[in-house]
């Protein structure tokens, strides 16, 4: 019975951290963070600048490994498997946990090659198969109609909003299970922002999404769960509806009402 219950908890919870501590040299950037990220839900990370949102996001796909003097303590689980264990293959992990960055940054190659980049890396060579992946990913990111005529043009010629949707398509092309997005709309105009927000709501069917945002309305609009960070500590984590209507901590209330940060 107990095993059954545990099993169910695991299927609902895609990623989980336990006593997660991150240090940049002497700087203690994350302090004892325990989080559960529900599967097939959008989780929003909010908090003032420098509170550790990006740091937390990067621990989920081990992009922090690239930083020079970083030290990570505690556990991060993906489907119950510790991603910092020595047995974990980091490239496989990053294929399963994709990432979209704040600044749209397509590779300096054609639109087609941008999307096909990930699949090719993971060994897919067939032209037809790649064509299929490219079209599917671009459709999912709602940019197919805009670029189908110019698939072999440089991706650098697209507008900012198009570039960001291209980057989303590029991340989707390797069929991740989790998609991490660090302020994906902060460099975009309102119309493009709306398009990306619509995507995220649609993605829930297939993916688990974690998004960092500075925009309270955005968090309220699109997320199911919200996590509030302050100075490296997790202050409050709840369903978005509850966190925004009945915050348990006064610091959360102050933040969402725009009184600091």
Partner 1 sequence: MCLKGSESEYQRNRSSHARGVEKAAEILFGLCGMSAILAVGSITLYMIVNGIPAVLQVGWKEILFSTVWMPTAKEPSFGIFSVILTSIAGTFLAVLIGVPLAVLTAVFLSEVAPAHLASIVRPAVELLAGIPSVIYGVLGMMVLNPLMYRLEQWIFADSETHQFTGGANLLSAAIVLAVMILPTVITISEAAIRAVPPELMASSLALGASFVQTIFRVTLPAAKSGILTAVVLGIGRAMGEAMAISLVSGNSVNLPLPFMSVRFLTTAIVSEMGYAGGLHRQVLFTIGLVLFGFIMVINLVLHRILKGEGRP
In angstroms, what is the minimal distance from the CB of 12 to ligand ATP?
27
Chain residues in the site for Mg ion (CB under 5 A): 54
Select from 10-18, 166-174, 193-201, 247-255 the region that touches partner 1 (CB under 8 A): 166-174
Cβ proximity of 198 and 18 under 8 Å: no
Q: At what angle do helices 190-203 and 160-172 cross, to 10 degrees?
A: 20
Question: For strand 208-212 and strand 97-100, is the pairing parallel, antiparallel, or unpaired?
Answer: unpaired
> Which one of residues 92, 148, 242, 246 is an interface residue with partner 1 (CB under 8 A)?
92
Is residue 122 at the binding interface for partner 1, with CB under 8 A as the rule? yes
Binders of ligand ATP among residues 30 to 89 (CB under 6 A) are 47, 49-55, 67
Is residue 185 at the binding interface for ligand ATP, with CB under 6 A as the rule? no
In angstroms, what is the minimal distance from the CB of 57 to ligand ATP?
8
Considering CB distances under 5 to 8 angstroms, the limit depending on partner class, which of ligand ATP, Mg ion, partner 1, none binds residue 23? none
Q: Which tokens go with 70?
A: 């970083």
In angstroms, what is the minimal distance from the CB of 242 to ligand ATP?
23
Cα distance between residue 98 and residue 181, in whole Å: 9
What number of residues does the chain have? 261
Is residue 84 at the binding interface for partner 1, with CB under 8 A as the rule? no
Cβ proximity of 111 and 162 under 8 Å: no
Cα distance between residue 102 and residue 18, in whole Å: 27
Is residue 202 at the binding interface for partner 1, with CB under 8 A as the rule? no
Instruction: Give residue for tokens 């991740």.
Output: 176
Q: At what angle do helices 160-172 and 111-121 cross, to 10 degrees?
A: 20
Binders of partner 1 among residues 48 to 77 (CB under 8 A) are 61, 63, 66
Question: For strand 27-38 and strand 42-46, is the pairing parallel, antiparallel, or unpaired?
Answer: unpaired
Cα distance between residue 125 and residue 169, in whole Å: 19
> Which one of residues 23, 24, 84, 117 is an interface residue with ligand ATP (CB under 6 A)?
24
Is residue 117 at the binding interface for partner 1, with CB under 8 A as the rule? yes
Binders of ligand ATP among residues 104 to 133 (CB under 6 A) are none
Residue 230: name the closest of 72, 50, 70, 56 by CA.
Answer: 50
Cβ proximity of 110 and 162 under 8 Å: no
In angstroms, what is the minimal distance from the CB of 109 to partner 1?
7
Q: What share of the chain is helix, strand, coil (3-state, %, to 5)?
A: 45, 25, 30
In angstroms, what is the minimal distance from the CB of 68 to ligand ATP?
7
In angstroms, what is the minimal distance from the CB of 110 to Mg ion?
30
> Which one of residues 15, 16, 20, 29 is an interface residue with ligand ATP (CB under 6 A)?
29
Cα distance between residue 214 and residue 85, in whole Å: 32
- Residues of this chain that bind partner 1 (CB under 8 A): 61, 63, 66, 91-95, 98-99, 101, 103, 105, 107-109, 117-118, 121-122, 156-157, 167, 170-171, 174
Site residues for ligand ATP per CB under 6 A: 24, 27, 29, 47, 49-55, 67
């Amino acid at each position: 019975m107990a095993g059954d219950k545990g099993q169910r908890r695991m299927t609902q919870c895609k990623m989980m951290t336990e006593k997660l501590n991150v240090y940049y040299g002497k700087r203690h950037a994350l302090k004892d963070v325990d989080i559960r990220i529900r599967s097939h839900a959008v989780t929003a990370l909010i908090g003032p600048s420098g509170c550790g949102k990006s740091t937390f996001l990067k621990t989920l796909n081990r992009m922090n490994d690239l930083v020079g003097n970083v030290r990570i303590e505690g556990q991060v689980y993906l489907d119950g498997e510790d991603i910092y264990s020595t047995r974990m293959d980091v490239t496989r992990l990053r294929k399963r946990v994709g990432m979209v960055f704040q600044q749209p940054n397509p590779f300096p190659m054609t639109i087609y090659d941008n999307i096909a980049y990930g699949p090719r890396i993971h060994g897919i060579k067939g032209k037809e198969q790649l064509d299929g992946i490219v079209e599917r990913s671009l459709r999912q990111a709602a940019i197919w109609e805009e670029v189908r005529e110019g698939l072999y043009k440089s991706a650098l010629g697209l507008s900012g909003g198009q570039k960001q949707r291209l980057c989303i398509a590029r991340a989707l092309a390797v069929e991740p299970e989790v998609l991490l997005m660090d302020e994906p709309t902060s460099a975009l105009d309102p119309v493009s922002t709306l398009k990306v927000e619509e995507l995220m709501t649609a993605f829930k069917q297939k993916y688990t999404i974690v998004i960092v945002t500075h925009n309270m309305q955005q968090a309220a609009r699109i997320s199911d769960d919200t996590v509030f960070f302050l100075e490296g500590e997790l202050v409050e984590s709840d369903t978005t509806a509850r966190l925004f209507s009945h915050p348990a901590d006064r610091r959360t209330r102050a933040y969402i009402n725009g009184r600091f940060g």
